Amino acid sequence: MKHWVAAIGFLALAACAPKPAFVPDGFRDTNIPITSSTRFDPKRFAGDWRVIESFERTPREVAISRVSFRPEAGGYRYIPQAAISPLAADAEGAAWPLYSIGQFGRLLPEEGDPIWVIWVDEDHRTAVLGTPSGRFGMIINRTSKLRADRLAAAREILAFNGYDLAQLRKVSP
């Protein structure tokens, strides 16, 4: 009898737990606070990255496969590139958004969602990007080869920040 009472008590508590909150086009539970990296160094973070895994709703053939954070006065120019896309050939001279650099790797656009560097390894070889809204998230690396331990760490960081890993798509090998 005691087991039934305990089971009913646990079910009642579970019913009271907040339901995951996803924006209609989001990939993370916004009830879970999102973090950003205190390890972020703007000079070391600048440059070219390969997208290893990403949350995207685009067709597979136009998935963003590379991103660049080009330093400019006032922040970074964020340049995403798809492997098979007119964007890849036209990156130079395009009007890419400028993100100012806030504390702890919080990259702030003039309008739209900020991009937060949720995690970056000590040597700035691997990073996890996301947005508080959950509409964007990716694991990036300086090369297309990412060690299994760093990939596992990056995924753990995404899950800790409320991302639904079931929607994460592999981009680079």
pLDDT digits (tens, 9 = 90+) for 116-165: 999 999 999 999 999 999 999 999 999 999 999 999 999 999 999 999 99
Within-domain flag for 90: yes
Within-domain flag for 1: no
pLDDT at 14: 45
Q: Is 55 helix (H, G, I), strand (E, B) or coil?
A: coil
Q: Identify the burial level of 126 via C-beta atoms within 10 angstroms of its C-beta, where 0-12 means exposed, 13-18 middle and 19 or more buried.
A: buried
Within-domain flag for 95: yes
Let me know: does 134 contact 23? Beta carbons within 8 Å.
yes
pLDDT at 82: 76
Within-domain flag for 115: yes
The CATH number of the domain holding residue 30 is: 2.40.128.20
pLDDT digits (tens, 9 = 90+) for 75-123: 999 998 876 555 544 445 557 889 999 999 999 998 889 999 999 999 9
Within-domain flag for 61: yes
Average pLDDT over residues 63-68: 87
Within-domain flag for 161: yes
Span of 8-12, 42-46, 76-80, 129-133 with lowest mean pLDDT:
8-12
Residue 25: band (very low, low, confident or very high) from pLDDT cuts 50, 70, 90: confident
Helices (H), 17-125: 42-45, 86-89
Within-domain flag for 4: no
pLDDT tops 90 at residue 59 = no
Q: Identify the burial level of 67 via C-beta atoms within 10 angstroms of its C-beta, where 0-12 means exposed, 13-18 middle and 19 or more buried.
A: buried
pLDDT tops 90 at residue 7 = no
Within-domain flag for 17: no
* Residue 164 backbone dihedrals phi, psi, to 5 degrees: -85, 100
166: closest CA among 23, 29, 17, 15?
Answer: 29
Q: Give me 173's structure tokens.
A: 């090998």
Higher pLDDT: 56 or 29? It is: 29
Number of domains making up the chain: 1
Give 125's DSSP letter.
S
Full residue range of the structural domain in which residue 26 is found: 22-170
